[in-house]
Structure 1
Amino acid sequence: MARGQLRIYLGAAPGVGKTYAMLAEGLRRRSRGTDVVIGLVEPHGRRVTAALAEGLETVPRRSITYRGGAFTEMDLDAVLARHPEVALVDELAHTNVPGSRNARRWQDVAELLDAGIDVVSTLNIQHLESLNDVVEQITGIRQQETIPDDVVRRADQIELVDMTPEALRRRMVHGNVYPPDRVETALTHYFRPGNLTALRELALLWVADRVEEVQQRYRTEHGIADPWETRERIVVGLRGDPRDQALIRRAARIAARTPGSDLLAVHVVGSEAAVAADAGRLAESRALVESGGGTLHQLIGDDVAEALVRFAEAENATQIVLGATPRGPLVAALAGEAVSTKVVRLAGATDVHIVTRRPDADLGRPIRRPRRSGRGPVVPVLVLIGLAGVLAALRVGFGPGAAGALVAGLVADLLAVLAIAAAGGLWPAVVAAVVAVLLTAVFLGPPVSAGLLALGVLGVIAVAAGTAVDRADRATRRAARAAAVAAALRSLTTAVVDGRDHLPVLLEQIRELLGLASVSLLAHDGAAVEPRWFVVASTGADAPEHPEDGDVEVPVGATGALVGRGRALGPTDEDVFLACAAQLEVLLRRVPADAGAGREAEAEVTRSAVLLILGRALRALLADVRSAVDTLGTPGGSPAQVQEGMTRMNRLVTELLDVSRLDAGALDVRLRTVDLDDVLVTALDELGPAASGVAVGIGDDVPVVVTDAAVLSRAVSTVVADALRRGAGAAPPSITVEAAPGKVDVRIVDRAGYELDDRAEHATRLAADLTEAAGGTMRVLPSPGGRTVVLTVPRAERPRTA
């Protein structure tokens, strides 16, 4: 059964109008034909609110005796038995009277949602668990009734009911909130203007977080890379050394100047990192960042600057804060482009703040020498120029061809070659050996034999030293890559422990680590030729549906693949991606064998029952067709009977194929933006003349939806065909379409009675499975003369493109 949707009206304080807004929403939905009941409303003596509630059906409360007193609570069992489409339940954070089934009202609401009932509720900002201490500091009152933040964040819709402190205090004075005897006390204590202003700001900021999530999804879908400065989001780059503490505090002060801004600390792990990060240092940095309300993220990347900028663009950051150590021109030339300089060059419209860091000598941490490719020919050229100067001085001091000058020159050549080999590796050292011998010949003029001997000796030394340096450098890179893979797996393993069954969460962790736009876990049907691929789980915008849709792909088991889209990965990133795929493969194998056997047994029972039902129906149809064929040559025989029987038989065979494909996971589904009128026309065309009496009501302003048109039309035709079969002589079914925020409902009113036979039960299950495969949900509700089947599909967030 599909889970219901939760809508919450959030307010800054009592009396802003949350309950009134909830009741008004209930009346609006009822006017559109939705079955709405009041599960529980607390009017608190407010006449206008109580009058509004009288216009809706109310489920009587349950009476509970506790410590000699009589109390009433929402009758959860009665609401579940009534099973409306929408239930209005006030005060989500309320604590139930002891003796109730659940300790908290939000747990009651969770049961209603699990039963497929939509719930509209209310909540004050001070009841959020994460804000409890803040509210106590503001008001001096500690809230005893709190609700976990994640319960509220999982709501499908959160609407802020806003009111200025002055307007709320006027309502208090007019007696619209509390009785007259409580007004003065409330105005001088909890409802002081400063308290209300602070609570209102808390509510606005908390709701802004949800709005930010929607905005980020929109930017991703539309490929918008430039930051939108709707709020300040500050990214601070960390090196993993003791100086990070001061950098974090500086970034926190920048964030504090703009209330509501976000602080995101980032540490990039990869072979390009200049300082090997210490796990203890990072833990200290994480604690400091979180104490300031920020978060720390660990990324994988060969290039620190590119990884930082890529993360800032993905998070819509407005500022990047980096630390930089002052370097002289010579050091800058030797070490190549600094990370801070490259970030400034790549950041585009994002502001970059460079914080000067003193080169503390007491860090006690080994700093890796700069990468050779970052320096190019600077070091070899400088060394050879110095060698030429030394040889020129020897020529002046000893004269050309002097034995002492030759010995000193060869020593200088040797030192120069060793220096260049250490800086540049094998081939720069070999070239330097040749150039050193030529310089020695030019300045000191040794005999030819001595020159050839010197060239051979220096060549051997250059090859040996350069090869050793190259091997050491490759070992360093391998160690750095291994550290990057280990860091990624540590982070992924933590996510697995926190929620091993939430594949989208794990994929989001992988996507963030590698800076990809989207990641999909795919599986195929095992066919050797042209296998069909299916999306097991995905995250990000435009997630790949086939291996060829991505920029990187690695296998997961025998029939799976982990596919990423967004950028090409370097060697380190590819190693991490492969390690993540291996971790996912291990995770997927951890499903207990007994649970798998139980599901297989249950599926086998269901499959057997369905095949038995369809087998009996097919045999009956064959008998009808044979009888119709026998009457063709007799008076009164009609080819139409044979045609009708063949149509019904074709439909049964199609249903058998659908059951088989659904069971094997081989139903070809491609979710796209489609028009519902095309889906309904296709569904009714499949039914032929029998569907001529079906009434269809669909407005011109119904939005496009995200679904598989062919699969959804099969679901619709399955429900309508079963209603027509059972309702011979009754009013034909009707189809209406209703749009709601985030979804569109297709309502099929079945007037064929309440009793369902085996065929009807099978058709209902098949339609539900087809709807779910098409990306939607299905509910069955009682209605006059029969039932109403509601197929709900998500509406498209952007117009359909050709």
Structure 2
Amino acid sequence: MGRGRLRVYLGAAPGVGKTYAMLAEGARRRERGTDVVVGLVETHGRPRTAALLEGMEVVPRGTLDYRGTSFTELDAGAVIARKPQVALIDELAHTNVPGSRNTKRWQDIEEVLDAGIDVVTTVNVQHLESVNDVVEQITGVPQRETVPDEVVRRADQVELVDMAPEALRRRMAHGNIYAPEKIDAALGNYFRVGNLTALRELALLWLADKVDDQLDRYRADHGIAGTWEARERVVVALTGGPEGDTLIRRAARIADRTKGADLLAVHVARNDGLTDAGPAHLTRQRALVESLGGSYHQVVGSNVPDALLDFARGVNATQLVLGASRRGRVAQLFSRGVGVTTTAQSGTIDVHLVTHEETNQGRRWRARRTAGLPAARRDAGFAVAAAGLPLLTFLLVRLRGELSLASDILLFQAAVVGVALLGGLYPALFAAIGGSLLLNYYFTPPTGTFTVAQPEAVLQLVVYVVVGVTVSTIVDITVRRSREAARARADAEVLSTLAGDILRGEHAPIAGPGGYRALGNILERLRETYALTAVTLLERDPEAPVTPDTLRDPDRWGIVATAGGEPCTSPDAGESDILVEDGTLSLVLRGRTLPASDRRILEAFAAQAAVALRHRRLAETARQIRPLEAADKMRTALLNAVGHDLRTPLASAKAAVESLHSPDVAWSAEDRDELVATAAESLARLDHLVTNLLDMSRLQAGSLGLAPRRVAAEDVVARAIGDTGRDAVEIHVPDGLPEMVADPALLERVLANLVANAVRFNPPGEPVVITASAHGDRLELRVIDRGPGIPPADRDRVFQPFQRLGDRDNETGVGLGLALARGLAEAMDGDITPEETPGGGLTMILTMPVRRPRTPAEAPSGGEAPAAPAPGPDEGDTEADLADPRIIDRVAAWRDRIGNGNDRAGPSQ
């Protein structure tokens, strides 16, 4: 059996009826005789949805126990064993209970599809991975269950289930979606008209992209080359010239006239490697296109109009923007040009020819246009022609009568070709004309004169001259093209190396004024490539007026980065300079004057330097903002915690005290004692939470006081378990362990938090085990439980403040237990590491430094003055004796990591 087909009902918002639509589809198929079963459907107590389940076969769900509670999940194995034709499985993005066959339900559905069973499923747009963060920004509600977009895009059919926001709110108000007690909160929060409208637009746009993909596949499969104007797509053609900016902005305005239109920029590179495109212009224009929301593309082709139209038809473009020809009017008489040719062949694609400042200006002659053979070879060609042709004439005169005129002409023709190969066009033309005169005078009857008596001889001489000129021209063009190709290859190698340097050094800082690895690599590569003594990137004061004086004033320029020797302080300080970024940046070169033919590559270097500088500053801004974001996240989490977790014990204590104070009720002594105990317990919990919050604040502020001294493991363990009791904890601490160096009170709190966390998650009747062992200069305390444990991916993320992972009791604290425990441990030069308990569960390893007694080998030898005695068992160590600079460093490091948002982000137990 082949793979099953997947049909997805995509809901624009919760409650639009996607599950109802899925069940209705199943009912229709069952009426047509299709074998349909319900793998899993969540009715959420909605009677109309539940009514559609009547009469349908439902595959029993699988049951799993998790943390003492039974859950039901889709039993994919049972569905596959049943082998229906169609299975209805609700909620594609659902996360399965730990211990299930797969982590996500969409993975279960993949198995069902692989078994050849068609699946009809549902998902809401807010659960798509690509829009998850956008939905959270709009609604303020994080979506923890997501499905990769590719899973839904691979579906054979995706149908949108939509409803107007007002109609959905009426359905909510009538009680058709949520229970009555939840309606008011839902209408005032998630189900606001603005939220629903935004979700609806997201769903439509996402589905439009899916439809575009299907349309592209259909057109490709059926070989359809014509344009289908289902959606506006504007393509702008870039030549690499300065007029590209004007064309891009014009194309963007055209695209903006139609909401949802796409903007695409394309540059056609010739496949012979020879191009007049300016890399600096293309780099800048690519950034401009992307800043306007478009995309940049490059294609290769020998025929620019054909390549351009092939690309436009391939992306189903509706409009094409071209620049008016830059060629002069005389040149346009001999060739129609790219614009006119493209317009004539465009078919259904609308073509816009946009005028610009370069129109009809003609192509500028470049220095490399005359880059033929070197002057030495041309001189050698003239010399060979001047000496060789008379010598050849002398030899042929001696052989007169043995060779015909045709043979003489062929020999002269060979000489012309040789001169062309040696010296190029002009020596060959000189040889061809000179050879024709010599042939006419010495070998064409009547000889000795320039008169030609025979018409055949005239024809031979004319053909000789034409062939000579043609061969000379071809040889010269070939030489020029070879040199241009070599130059283009060298330029490509330089640009490829430049790109590699940028990629390798994008994020590594270097020393120097405003230095950065990518920017430094660019300047150093430029200096090495062209053997310069110094390359400097300068930045002009943006407040200064743009005048010739300010552009050359050293006081108006500052050094951004430099490579090589002494940096240049103004554009005039070097042999040449290149202005970029509208004149705010200048790349100054010192060492030698470079030829004009290198200008294009220099502009590419300058453009990449400007991009690297921009990226560096964006990265610096991001680094400055990151601590602010972390602090804001911390404040938000704190407010949430205060608003929920601190309010609960406060409310309990307040209710108990108000009840005791009420004159309307005569409380018995037993009731009064119970109310007082409730108030005391709630206030104790409140005191514990506030203490944790204050300690966390002290850690981050660096004001936590430490009093380190020797601490015995058995003493701190006994005090840490406190009221937890011996029944809930087993202690295995061997004798003879070295003492730890720590603040006793803080160490006790660390261990108490670890023990309380373990007891909370340990199975009933199973004790938490505490063991201790020494390893070198460290002592390990292990707190072992047999609970559900923590997945390996979350073990380094459980120490984030204000979050909890899978608490059964969500009102037991603000989620600071493990975060505070690790912070206090690291402040004392210790550490906490989670690992899996063999056989299941979690082991928290608390590692602390120890102070070992002096060994005999370390004692002073006889005759030396004895060292100061070590403190006896009753003396104790003072804070000054045991203070370790590493402890202070650990406090600062931990504070920076929490303040800057370390990688241990995520929920914690």
TM-score range, shorter chain: 0.3 to 0.5
Bigger-Rg structure (1/2):
2
